Structure 1
Amino acid sequence: MSCRAWKDGRAEITRYEPNRVDVKTEASGPSILVLSENHYPGWRAYVDGRRVDVLRVDYNLRAVALAGGAHQISFVYRPWSVMIGFLVSLLTALVLALWGLRRSKFSGGKATALGT
């Protein structure tokens, strides 16, 4: 276990939306930026455009480790469940469209109600 002295630094939230938080930071040495919001699967973090691990700190908060200097941090919410749901919906719409085209082709171009 080690204890390090706090370094001088500052952080400013530059964008705050439900699925995205951008923060501009400046620190004189290595530091950890803690966002006082719940840690939840699906959040991704980017430091200066490069993806980094989202740390879970103080039981349930989000954080990222930073080197000294100025940085632009983005927390972006992109859960896999939303991506999978989108792909399933897209595939379903495609299958229904193809099925509808096939039915109209075999019925002589006339739309039929309930297969009659």
Structure 2
Amino acid sequence: PVITDTAWSLQPARVATHAPNSVFVDVEMPGAGWLLLADSYFPGWKAYRSDLYRVAEDGQILGSEPAIPDPKFEPPNEAELNIVRADGNFRAVFLEEGAHRVRFKYTPMSFKLGLYGSFMAAVVLFLLVLYWLWGRFYRESADDHAVKRVAKNSLLPMGLQLMNRLIDFAFAMLMLRILAPEMAGRY
């Protein structure tokens, strides 16, 4: 968006925490405006806004979030913000009037898909090694007991079913990671 108003009012913002993949910024906005973070813009960054203070219906301040936020802490009252590219290189979000804590988080889809692809490749490799070991060490002879044959015919399908459950569990973890709890509940 292009702002044509020439009256600019710069307000300071405090970077509460700066980690490699997340940044927490506390800002008090006297009016609606832009928060500009002078870090490089790159696809994969997401921004979330939460109120810095909880206010009761009568206007009384009930409390605030921790002064030094934990990078893994995700407040329940967050709202996702749209990040725009500012001046060709920086990240900016539009905020309404009030005291806000903005959490920038780097979660690129390429990393998630790469992690998932690596997991699936490891599962396939594990199954291939099991298949090779089975062919190398298992020999059936004519004088084997029926108990051995029944055990083989029941343990192999149970083992494969367990592997199937592990793959389903990995799919469920990926779905929850991508959709987040709220969207997974709607799904």
- TM-score using structure 1 length: 0.84
Corresponding position of 1:114: none
Larger Cα Rg: Structure 1 or Structure 2? 2
Percent identity reads 34
Return the offset for 1:3: 0.4
Q: Which has the higher strand share?
A: 1
Match of 1:11 in 2: 13
The separation in 1 between residues aligned to 2:91 and 2:34, in whole angstroms, is 10
Is 1:41 the counterpart of 2:70? The answer is no
Matches within 5 A, 1:93-108: 93-108=122-137
Please list every run of 5 or more consecutive structure 2 residues that lacks an aligned counterpart in the other structure: 51-77, 139-187
Q: Does 1:32 align with 2:61?
A: no
What is aligned with 2:23? Answer: 21
Which structure has greater helix proportion? 2
1:56 and 2:85 aligned:
yes
RMSD of Structure 2 on Structure 1 (CA): 1.8
Do 1:25 and 1:71's aligned partners in 2 also have CA atoms closer than 8 Å?
yes
Q: Is the 8 A contact 1:28 1:68 kept in 2?
A: yes
Distance 2:11 2:88 in 1: 24
Contact residue 25 and residue 72 of structure 1 kept, 8 A: yes
Alpha-carbon contact 1:8-1:28 (below 8 Å) kept? no
Normalised by the size of structure 2, how large is the TM-score?
0.54
- Structure 2 Cα separation of the partners of residues 38 and 25 of structure 1: 20
1:73 corresponds to: 102
Report the count of equivalent residues: 109
Contact 1:7 1:29 in 2 (8 A): no
Secondary structure of the 1:29 match is coil
Q: Secondary structure at 1:98's aligned position in 2?
A: helix
Whole-Å separation in 2 of the counterparts to 1:6 and 1:85: 43
Give, in whole Å, the separation in 2 of the partners of 1:69 and 1:8: 15
SS at match of 1:73: strand
CA shift for structure 1 position 33: 0.4
- 2: CA distance, partners of 1:69 / 1:14: 17
Alpha-carbon separation, structure 2, partners of 1:61 and 1:7: 19
